A and B are shown apart, each in its own frame.
Chain A
Amino acid sequence: MSSDKLTLKQKFDRWMIKHGRVLVIGIPYFWLFLFFLVPFLIVLKISFAMAEYAQPPYSSLFEWIDEGITVTLNFGNYLFLLSDSLYATAYLNSIRIAAISTIITLLIGYPMAYGIARARGSVRSVLLMLVILPFWTSFLIRVYAWIGILDREGLINAFLLWTGIISEPLIMRQTEFAVYVGIVYTYLPFMILPLYSTLEKMDVSLIEAALDLGCKPWQAFAKITLPLSLPGILAGSLLVFIPAVGEFVIPELLGGPNTLMIGRTLWNEFFANRDWPIASAVAIAMLLFLVVPIMWFQHIQSKQEESQS
């Protein structure tokens, strides 16, 4: 059949069969590439620029001089990050606060996930719904709720003063403690859901067999349940840890002026100091640390996906 005998529709169908696959892959690929990947390259570029009173407020890296492009890389921003101890403190603080919050979230979330996985069918779906529901209600409002509870004139202080346990209000908001409460509270569902999905798939007869063979319950837990739920523990921990490192809202609203975290530093460099190149350098420094956990997370995600299908 020669091609001029084909109708337009047949031509279109042929074209679709040949190129449809490329199109289906290509459109989301292009979007994510342009709006997720390329921006990081621009951040990297601007982190080597100098701040200027201009619109936009940074110097250009590329210049046409004598019919050739010269590239001026400015490492000053990174040297500045190293020289001022504020940045190192914020960096280490963020990692420490995120790590401790992740451990607390795991300790609270694991028994909950286990309890839900072992509940009877109808109870289980209700409990699961109760975990998911806060995830759908506003994050900002859930952080805000703790202001009224932890404040100097807040509900906990009012209650303790009323009972006479304390005579002076406790300082709880604007401390690191409040930041831990905020992170654990808002990220708890992210920990419970992956834990639940590994615990639910686990074969209970393995534990029964271990108990029948004379294992103590804690031994059975340590030797069977814990290792089998490791993928869930890792996925949940990374889902909490990575965003918590860069958290801005929680330290801003619940932490004090001394609770330095890297996300807050980036925000202030950008919005208060209007120093875009330094903000970009801070972002790159944060990414360098997070690249390994992020790739690990992606690895776990794709492995779980393969085991499912």
Chain B
Amino acid sequence: MAVRNSNKYDRQLRIWGDQGQLALEQANVCLLNCGPTGAEALKNLVLGGIGSCTIVDDSKVETRDLGNNFFVDWESIGLPKAKTVCAFLQELNDTVEAKFVEESPEALLNSNPEFFFQFTLIIATQMKEQSLLALDSICRKRNVMLLIARSYGLTGLIRICVKEHCVIESKPDNAINDLRLQKPWAELKRFADELDAEIDDPVIHKHIPFAVLLIKATEDWRKTHAGSLPYTSKEKAEFKVSLASKKHGEDEDNYKEAISSAYRVWSPPTIGSELQRVLDDSAVEVNSSSPDFWVMVAALKEFISNEGEGDAPLDGTIPDMTSTTEYYVTLQKIYQEKAELHVTALEARVKNILKRIGRDPQSITKSAIKLFCKNARNIRVLRYPPLEDEFNSIIGHELQKLLEVEENSNATFYVLLRGVDHFASSYNRYPGVFDDELEEDAMKLKTLSTTLLNKMIGGGVGGAVLSDDLVSEMCRFGASEIHTVASIIGGIASQEAIKLLTRQFTPLPGVLIYNGIDSTTSVLQLKSFA
């Protein structure tokens, strides 16, 4: 388990913890095509310590690979690429089981689709639309996660294909602790009441935690404002001024903190729109085959309308604040105890629901429920529509929006990245692979892509939106796989793989388009998220 390699993995354990590492170590990842994009993606996962990887590729190492792939060498020319890349990747981490299958992904799709069922996650690189459609429907059947990565000249694209991805630990960067200062429960209120903010002792006065100062100030405010909270910006300013007036000296940090945290009183964390969408989802009507996640969401929904009185469970942690050790530790304990009560309440509801749907009431552990409660306000559900739907224009609206933003060429690249595949199926080669047909190919690509675009956005837009400069750059790229671009696309793919496997953080909610010319990215939202 993770502990064995805790030194080696120290820098990443600090991000996703033992549980995240364990999830990686249990993952079986499959890579389709091991050109630079695929090899780089897998490299990062092997370094991170996934359980096993299987490379599927039927090509042989050629001279051209020596110019863009780090995991082949001079001596391996003519040898199976999958075998070579596999051996070099294995060197990076001997705890990973690295395997390869010398076959083309397309052939496997036809001959042995069951092959793909054994994996936790498949990374499909440099594959054309038709094969991806087939792969997506196979993966969806067995809930195998699919990540698509494509590098093309100075551009690239990444998309996730997963029916449903539920995240408990989304770990948002700026999570704000739920302090309930505007509605303290009895224990918290008692603690606040017991501290005398008018005290003369300067040491105590400057060490009353800001949470207590705000609870007191809110109570005072309500008394003189018919029970309501500061609402207008004038009132908010007044509230702060009255806090400041209670300072005994300029160096009282607790008062400074109270003033800068006063917003917590009038805009406390609420049930955000993302959480509300999850609560309103039909999956909340759980049955015996519902995943644990949805059972807990069902319990959460009940909790909110009952003992939660409209709020999610308390996360139970408080930020650091100027205080004596004693006050701080006591306050910490008050929040923790309340949070534990919430866990117990939710646990009871989970057990009831499990009983109701005919499952073992003990089948969801207390520690799982605890983790869920701690993160309840930030749970996420992502659903990715079938690739077929994306190709059949559900992305149109989003695309049009992006195309309308001036100077943003990234939507054009999305169209062109699909255009080159259509070009390839019409002409059996990519545009711009031959030096002497560049101009001709550019015209053809533009025509094809314009048709495609009109189909996607339901007509109405002429070909003018596809910039000639970008069409001609796309032909210049000629299906080349530039190492640095492959490294960026592979890098992002591996990052998304880690998020999917660890079920931590939020994966891409749409199609990512990378533009290496300006070093920018755009994400095209897929309709079912809207």
Verify that A and B bind, or say they do not.
Answer: no
Q: Which A residues form the contact surface with B (CB < 8 A)?
A: none
